[in-house]
Structures are given as structure tokens and as C-alpha cells.
């Protein structure tokens, strides 16, 4: 960001009418402000108002991405690196003028991170403002933004020893208002914060957790119920009531059994899911500890669960091992599981992202051409695609005896898109689902675990991290209803975002009406409209996205979802799992490329840490030191002898 002379002042900030952006925002949160600040910067640039442009460009940097409550200093340090001393001076001058607590908290936190003069006061200000912002964002359905502000306030208050009890009091007031009846996880997360710092009335909140768990069970929300039973157990642990603690642990373990039973109901019954939850139940019961009688009772229940798990696992082989009567994928299933087994969560997720590849365009084309050679009259009988209602939704061009190259190519690609569906489903069943199963078995994944992947990611536009994280989390945990509805629109927006980065303008203007509309995937995914798309995706990935999202002879998920043409059952089909995997891969590819660039610039990077687990490495280092010492002594003695000879 260039400097401006003379430097920006408080008056420049006031004159920019930044307050209009905040006032017009439905959600008082930096992510919502960021895009509007960027638009304002562009408008000011076009108008030649450079001082206003720079004001908004600084605000764009300040509001970029969501906070990370427990590591915000490290996170915000990246922001500070993008700001010069002059920019930080400007922020220090305007922070007192900012009436919006969300924006003021962010600026104060950045100034605290910069460790400049009065940074301690900035941290104090941030604590107060984060609580005010949390109150503004206290939506029980969309609870994560509110919780992030409270968690950050508590973390800062603890670190600087300022208003810690005030933050605790704020948490308790929110819990009082929710009364265990909030529909998501706000109360759960707030109680976990209190438990971490051993604050609150243990007995009172144990009862509140039980109420929330019971309500969740009545709604068949087993994950939320389990979370509250575990929280109840922790409250009893803090008050040293071992008997009540064990009872709550048993209740938490039972939620896995109930979730398994739910997985076997309805048209989408899945023994694979049921066996997964039974595996979790078995582990939970085995981990219950108490008196001799309590431990025996828990192990007896674990044995009952183990027998059911074995039955379900046997049944699940019918779902995983064969995709058709002719395709046995048991070997690939085992490879997928072993590929992620025993790895840390992020390593396992990256391994899954690159476990397999999209169908090869060259291979798909070769298969179509080979069929045409083997069956010379094949092109005389064009194929078609039929939906669930029996309607023809796509038809291969009829060539007859025509040699029109464009028609021939269109006919070939029709078959290629159609054939690609088979490989996409195979990828999901053979690799993605087994690997996901293993990851979920070994890791208790939370939505916040996905943020390091989507934050500051070239494929994820600023302000979209929450949506990508939620979509990826939903798909990872098997909720393809949620993941599909979130990820398809976000992929569409990301492609427009990348096209803009490559100098394209993925929008159209109706001059007569003065309206500018964004282009959709039906336009942006084709090089004939946007040649830059070939610089963004390789040939196989581009073809894969076209067939998966917009081609009638492919899965066409984008258009079918937009028009409500996907029924409930299809959301649990392998193709939805494949869509999730493709999104994960697109998010991980930039990170992989960045790592490769680092290794290319410094070839020794790849060897960093390769001996860290070698039991003989310490001995090796010690031997090296001894050898070096002996060699130095020999050299010193040799040099001394030379000096003696010269003096003689």
C-alpha cells in the first residue's frame, strides 16, 4: 500500500463518511464491512479522491478475515506487516473516533499487537469493545461470531489482568438469557470457557447442561446432546461429585448409540454411518472410569455395543466394497484408510485432498473414441440423460453422416461428461468416504479446526471463510444437505473472484437499465467467454468442474440445485461426497503450491526435521562434536609446529 504525503489525518477519516458503511450493514461485523470498504476504495480511486481511497484501503486491511481468539496476536501480526508505521500512526489517531465497537475492537487489537506506545491501553479498550460487539452479534442461530468476540475478550482480559471478572459476568448473563434453550452451541461453548477458568456455580450449571442435553435429545440432535452431557460431567468433576460425573459420561456415550439407530432409519439408512457411531460409543463406554461396579457396568455396555458394531460393519461392506457388480474397490478402500491412519488432523486432511485426482480428459476422450471404433454405427444412435421423473434433460447431438467438426466434438464431450460421473462416484466410494470415515474415527473435529485451511487462502475470498469452513465441516461429518447448499454458491463466487484477480470482468452491464449483474458458472467456466480460466485451472480440473456443476450430460449440480431439482435422497449420493472432496482439493492446492515454491527457493527445507524422531540422532550430534573438537586440536597443533619451525 503506497504512502501519501502529507500523511492521513483524523479529518480524512471523518470526511470519508466511513460511518455510512457501518450504518448500512445488516450485520455489525468486520467481515460484512470489508467488501463495502473495498468498493468505497475503488469508487474513490475512480473519482480521483486519493486520500479517501487510502483511508478505505487501510480499513480493508484492518477488517480482512475473522479473528482467531486464542492466537490473535500471531494472526494480526500479518495485518501489521501490511501496514507501515505511518498507517499505524493513522489508526492510533482515529481509534478514539470510531463509534462502532466491532471496528474499534479490531483497530485496538491491531495496535495492541503492534506493541506500540499505549498498546496496553489499546488491549483494555479491545476487551470492552469485544463485549459490546458480542452483544450486538448475539444471534442464537448464528452463534459463532458472538462467541468469538467473548472468547477473545476473555483471553485478552486474562493476559493483561484487566476486567476478567467483568467478562465472566457477561458470560453468565448470556447463559441466564439462553436458559439452556438456545438452538445451537452458544451456551455449550460459554460453559466450556467458564470450566476452563474454573468459574461459575458448578451445581447450577450442571443442571443447566442437563436441561440443554435433554432438549437436544428430544430434537434428535445427538451431537449437541452429547456435548452438553460431557459438559455436565465436567461440572460434576469440578465439584468432585464422581457418581454424577460417571452418570453423565454414560449418558454422553449413549448418544452415539442413539445416533447409530437413527442412521438406520428412513430411505437413506446407512450401516456405514451406524458402524461409525457404534465405534465411537464403544470407545466412550470403555473410557468411563469409576468404582469397580461402575467400571464393570460400563465395560458390559461396551461389549453389547461392540457386538452390534460388528454386525453393522459387516452390513456396511455392501455399501462400500462394490459400486456395481463388476467393480470391486475393497483394495482402494483399504488404501484410503491407511493413507490417513494415525496422522495429525491437518496432515490427514491434506492426504485426503490429494488422494486420487479428477478424471483425466485424455483418458475420457480415448474411451469414447475406442467405443466409436469398435461400434462404427454408435454415433447413429445418440444417448440421452433422464431425470428422476423420467424426463429427458440432455440429449447427445445426432450426427448422422455429418462430418461437421464442431458437432463431432460436441458429441464426444457429451459422452465424456457422462462417463466422468462414473469416475467421480468411484473416487467418492473408493477413497473419499473411507478416508473421511477414518479421520472422523481418529479425530473429534470441530468447525473451527477448518479455519486454518480457509483463512488467507487464495481460493477463498476475504469474508467467505466462515461459509467455506462450515461447508467443509458439514461434508466431513456427512451432512451433505448443508455442505452442498453452502459450497456450490461459494465455488461460483470464488471463480469470479479468481477471474478478477486475473484481470477479467465476470459481470455484465445493462446500459439501458443501469444495472450490473454477476456472471454465473454457465458463463465463467468456459474459455470462449473468459480465456483467463485456463490460467486458473488445469485441463482436467476445468473439465471436471464443468461436468460436475453445469453440463447437462454431467451431474449439473449447480443448475439442478438452483432450481430445486435435487430430491432428499440424492444429497446422500456419492456425487455429493465428490463435490465436497473437489472443494477441499481446491482449497488445499494453493497451500501445496506455496510449500513447493518454498522448497524450490530453499532445497534444504524438505530435510527440515527429518531426524527429529531418530533415537540415534543425539548420539550422532555428540560424536560430530567430539570429532570436530579433535580435528580443531590437530589443526592447532599443526599450526603451532609451523610457527616453531619458522622461529627456529
Tell me the pLDDT band of 315, cut-offs 50, 70 and 90: confident
Q: Which residue has the higher pLDDT, 145 or 203?
A: 203
Contacts of 607 (CB under 8 A, 6+ apart): none
CA distance 144 to 92: 29
Tell me, what's the pLDDT at 76? 72
Tell me what the mean pLDDT of segment 301-323 comes to.
74
Would you list the DSSP string of 35-74? HHHHHHHHHHHHTT-HHHHHHHHHHHHHT-S---TTSHHH
pLDDT band at 406 (very low <50, low <70, confident <90, very high): confident
In this predicted structure, the answer to whether residue 613 has a pLDDT above a threshold of 50 is no
User: Helix, strand, coil shares of the chain as percentages rounded to 5?
Assistant: 70, 5, 25
Whole-number Cα distances in Å, 168 to 94, 157, 160, 164, 609? 30, 10, 15, 6, 42
Cell 452458544 maps to which residue?
186
Reduced to 3 states, what is the DSSP secondary structure of residue 398?
A: coil
In angstroms, rounded to a whole number, what is the distance separating the alpha carbons of residues 528 and 549? 18
Model-level pTM?
0.53
Average pLDDT over residues 471-499: 94
In this predicted structure, what is the pLDDT of residue 370? 79
CA 69 distance to own-chain centroid: 17
User: Does 371 have pLDDT greater than 90?
Assistant: no
Average pLDDT of the segment spanning 113-136: 91
C-alpha–C-alpha distance, residues 87 and 114, integer Å: 12
What's the pLDDT score for residue 390? 43
Tell me if 397 sits within 8 A of 382, measured CB to CB.
yes
Which grid cell is 21? 458503511
What does the pLDDT read at residue 383?
59
Higher pLDDT, 461 or 404: 461
Which H/E stretch holds residue 217? helix 202-218
Tell me the β-bridge partners of 517: 508
Q: Is the pLDDT at 615 greater than 60, yes or no?
A: no
pLDDT in tens, 101-124: 999 999 999 999 888 778 899 999
What is the pLDDT, as a whole number, of residue 399? 54
Instruction: Write out 243-268 in H/E/C secondary structure.
Output: HHHHHHHHHHHHHHHHHHHHHCCCCC
Grid look-up 432428499 returns: 568
pLDDT at residue 612, rounded to an integer? 41
Residue where the block lists cell 454431467: 554
Cell representation of residue 521:
458458472
Contacts of 120 (CB under 8 A, 6+ apart): 112, 160
User: What's the half-sphere exposure (Cβ side, CA atoms, 13 Å) at 360?
Assistant: 5
- In this predicted structure, what is the pLDDT of residue 544? 95
User: Using one digit for the tens of pLDDT, what is the confidence trace for 490-537?
Assistant: 999 999 999 999 999 898 887 777 788 899 999 999 989 999 999 999
The mean per-residue pLDDT over the stretch 73-92 comes to 81
Rg of the chain in Å (alpha carbons) = 30
Residue 454, all three cell numbers: 480457509
The mean pLDDT value for 179-184 works out to 92
- Mean local confidence (pLDDT), 254-263: 94
CB 454 within 8 Å of CB 460: yes
For residue 30, give the nearest of 143, 141, 148, 184 by alpha carbon: 148
**Burial status of residue 405 (CB atoms within 10 A of its CB: 0-12, 13-18, 19 or more):** exposed
pLDDT at 151: 94
- Which pLDDT does position 397 carry in this prediction? 65
224 grid coordinates: 449437541
In the chain, domain spans = 1-162, 241-320, 351-604, 609-648
Summary mean pLDDT of the chain: 84
Q: Is residue 10 predicted with pLDDT exceeding 50?
A: yes
Average pLDDT over residues 272-289: 86
Q: At what angle do helices 330-340 and 345-353 cross, to 10 degrees?
A: 140
Beta bridge partners of 530: none
Confidence class of residue 604 from pLDDT cuts 50, 70 and 90?
very low
What is the pLDDT averaged over residues 200-208?
Answer: 96
Return all residues near 562 (Cβ < 8 A) that are at least 6 apart. none
Q: Which residues of 13-36 are buried (b: 16+ CB within 10 A; e: fewer)?
A: beebebeebbeebeebbbbbbbbb
Amino acid at each position: 500500500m503506497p504512502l501519501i504525503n502529507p500523511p492521513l489525518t483524523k479529518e480524512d477519516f471523518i470526511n470519508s463518511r466511513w460511518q455510512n458503511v457501518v450504518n448500512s450493514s445488516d450485520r455489525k461485523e468486520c467481515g460484512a464491512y470489508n467488501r463495502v470498504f473495498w468498493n468505497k476504495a475503488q469508487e474513490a480511486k475512480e473519482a480521483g479522491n486519493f486520500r479517501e481511497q487510502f483511508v478505505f484501503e487501510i480499513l480493508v486491511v484492518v477488517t480482512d478475515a475473522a479473528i482467531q481468539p486464542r492466537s490473535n496476536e500471531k494472526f494480526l501480526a500479518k495485518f501489521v506487516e501490511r501496514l507501515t508505521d505511518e498507517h499505524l500512526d493513522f489508526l492510533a489517531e482515529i481509534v478514539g473516533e470510531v463509534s462502532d465497537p466491532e471496528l474499534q475492537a479490531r483497530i485496538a487489537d491491531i495496535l495492541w499487537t503492534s506493541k506500540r506506545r499505549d498498546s496496553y491501553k489499546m488491549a483494555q479498550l479491545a476487551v470492552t469493545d469485544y463485549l459490546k460487539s458480542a452483544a450486538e452479534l448475539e444471534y442464537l442461530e448464528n452463534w459463532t461470531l458472538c462467541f468469538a468476540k467473548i472468547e477473545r475478550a476473555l483471553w485478552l482480559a486474562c493476559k493483561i489482568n484487566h476486567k476478567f471478572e467483568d467478562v465472566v459476568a457477561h458470560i453468565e448473563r448470556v447463559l441466564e438469557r439462553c436458559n439452556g434453550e438456545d438452538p445451537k452451541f452458544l451456551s455449550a461453548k460459554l460453559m466450556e470457557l467458564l470450566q476452563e477458568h474454573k468459574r461459575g456455580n458448578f451445581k447450577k450449571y450442571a443442571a443447566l447442561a442437563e436441561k440443554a442435553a435433554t432438549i437436544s435429545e428430544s430434537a434428535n440432535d445427538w451431537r449437541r446432546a452429547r456435548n452438553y452431557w460431557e459438559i455436565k460431567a465436567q461440572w460434576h468433576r469440578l465439584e468432585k461429585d464422581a457418581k454424577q460425573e460417571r452418570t453423565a459420561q454414560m449418558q454422553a456415550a449413549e448418544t452415539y448409540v442413539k445416533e447409530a439407530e437413527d442412521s438406520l432409519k428412513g430411505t437413506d439408512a446407512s450401516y456405514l454411518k451406524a458402524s461409525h457411531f457404534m465405534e465411537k460409543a464403544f470407545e466412550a463406554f470403555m473410557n468411563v472410569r469409576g468404582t469397580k461396579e461402575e467400571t464393570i457396568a460400563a465395560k458390559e455396555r461396551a461389549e453389547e455395543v461392540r457386538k452390534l458394531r460388528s454386525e453393522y460393519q459387516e452390513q456396511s461392506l455392501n455399501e462400500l466394497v462394490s459400486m456395481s457388480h463388476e467393480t470391486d474397490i475393497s483394495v482402494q478402500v483399504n488404501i484410503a484408510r491407511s493413507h490417513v491412519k494415525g496422522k495429525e488432523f491437518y496432515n490427514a486432511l491434506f492426504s485426503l485432498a490429494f488422494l486420487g485426482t479428477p478424471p483425466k480428459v485424455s483418458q475420457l476422450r480415448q474411451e469414447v473414441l475406442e467405443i466409436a471404433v469398435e461400434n462404427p454405427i454408435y454415433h447413429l444412435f445418440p444417448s440421452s440423460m433422464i431425470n428422476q421423473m423420467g424426463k429427458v434433460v440432455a440429449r447427445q447431438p445426432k450426427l448422422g453422416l455429418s462430418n461437421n467438426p464442431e458437432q463431432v466434438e460436441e458429441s464426444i464431450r457429451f459422452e465424456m461428461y457422462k462417463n466422468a460421473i462414473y469416475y467421480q462416484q468411484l473416487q467418492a466410494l473408493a477413497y473419499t468416504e473411507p478416508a473421511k470415515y477414518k479421520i472422523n474415527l481418529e479425530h473429534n473435529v470441530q468447525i473451527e479446526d477448518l479455519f486454518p485451511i480457509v483463512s488467507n487462502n487464495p481460493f477463498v475470498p476475504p469474508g467467505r471463510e466462515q461459509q467455506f469452513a462450515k461447508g467443509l465441516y458439514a461434508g466431513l461429518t456427512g451432512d451433505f444437505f448443508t455442505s452442498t447448499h453452502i459450497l456450490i454458491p461459494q465455488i461460483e463466487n470464488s471463480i469470479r473472484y479468481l477471474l478478477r484477480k486475473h484481470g477479467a470482468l465476470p459481470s455484465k452491464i445493462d446500459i439501458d437499465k443501469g444495472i450490473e449483474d454477476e456472471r454465473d458458472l454457465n458463463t465463467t467456466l468456459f474459455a470462449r467467454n473468459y480465456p483467463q480460466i485456463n490460467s486458473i485451472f488445469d485441463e482436467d480440473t476445468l473439465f471436471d468442474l464443468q461436468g460436475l456443476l453445469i453440463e447437462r450430460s454431467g451431474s449439473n449440480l449447480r443448475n439442478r440445485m438452483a432450481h430445486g431439482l435435487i430430491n432428499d435422497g440424492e444429497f446422500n449420493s456419492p456425487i455429493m461426497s465428490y463435490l465436497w472432496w473437489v472443494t477441499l482439493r481446491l482449497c488445499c492446492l494453493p497451500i501445496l503450491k506455496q510449500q513447493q515454491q518454498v522448497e524450490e527457493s530453499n532445497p534444504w527445507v524438505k530435510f527440515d526435521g527429518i531426524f527429529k524422531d531418530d533415537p540415534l540422532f543425539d548420539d550422532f550430534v555428540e560424536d560430530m562434536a567430539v570429532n570436530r573438537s579433535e580435528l580443531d586440536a590437530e589443526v592447532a597443533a599443526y599450526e603451532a609446529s609451523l610457527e616453531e619451525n619458522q622461529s627456529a
